[in-house]
Chains A and B, each alone.
Chain A
Amino acid sequence: GEDVEQSLFLSVREGDSSVINCTYTDSSSTYLYWYKQEPGAGLQLLTYIFSNMDMKQDQRLTVLLNKKDKHLSLRIADTQTGDSAIYFCAERGDTNAGKSTFGDGTTLTVKP
């Protein structure tokens, strides 16, 4: 079945850029998502990208997609302490409408 993998931890200093990486196996993935989860809360959709796009930028967030390598990344510019959270990568294909496969999440720690 589909698989999504992420590194488990990332630590950066406040003001630096953070890059969270994700790889997936489903070549028919149509939509790719990044979610943020703060402690004790549900997941918040941060941004998404269609598989026919290479890049999407939304304020401090930049998503890069390398479809050939099935590699997705999320760059957070000028990382703030409020960005500390768990970030989940997810993919969705054309089948099973709405059902996504999630990675295990990357815990981002931002140090002052």
Chain B
Amino acid sequence: GAVVSQHPSRVICKSGTSVKIECRSLDFQATTMFWYRQFPKKSLMLMATSNEGSKATYEQGVEKDKFLINHASLTLSTLTVTSAHPEDSSFYICSATRTSGDKGQFFGPGTRLTVL
């Protein structure tokens, strides 16, 4: 149990376009989902905390208008990178926590975004 999926797994887009990444909890309900960005030197950077039915909480330095997060249901959160630029190229990972029982965060497989 506790499977989280992400779609797409890999995306290449042109500079200036917007890209949407979906994060789904497949077999559990997740009131909270997190979005991370992982840099080439492997450190995880928390971008925002997404709660179902409310506005996301962004970490300091993360542009809200650039990285739009929507958590429309207990099993789905989306991250939209608006007007993407090459510096937005990265590995984006989502995670989710279950509504009951604490066993950490369950991570999606990640989405590799490349902006040309």
Listed in ascending order, the chain A residues whose CB lies under 8 Å from chain B are 31, 33, 35, 37, 40-45, 48, 86, 88, 90, 92, 96-100, 102, 104-105, 107
Contact = CB atoms under 8 A, between A and B. Distances in A.
Contacts of A96: 49
Interface string B83-111: 00000000001010100001111111110
A74 B29 CA distance: 30
Contact of B44 (A88, A92, A97): A88
B43 A99 contact: no
Contacts of A35: 104, 107
A99 B95 contact: no
Interface string B61-84: 000000000000000000000000
Interface of B: 4, 6, 32, 34, 41-44, 46, 49, 93, 95, 97, 102-110, 112
A44 B107 contact: yes
Contacts of A92: 104
Contacts of A31: 102, 104
B105 A45 contact: yes
B32 A97 contact: yes
Contacts of B103: 45, 48
A99 B109 CA distance: 19
B110 A42 contact: yes
A103 B95 CA distance: 16
A107 to B, nearest CB: 8
B49 A100 contact: no
Given A90-B104, A98-B32, A98-B105, A42 B42 contact: no
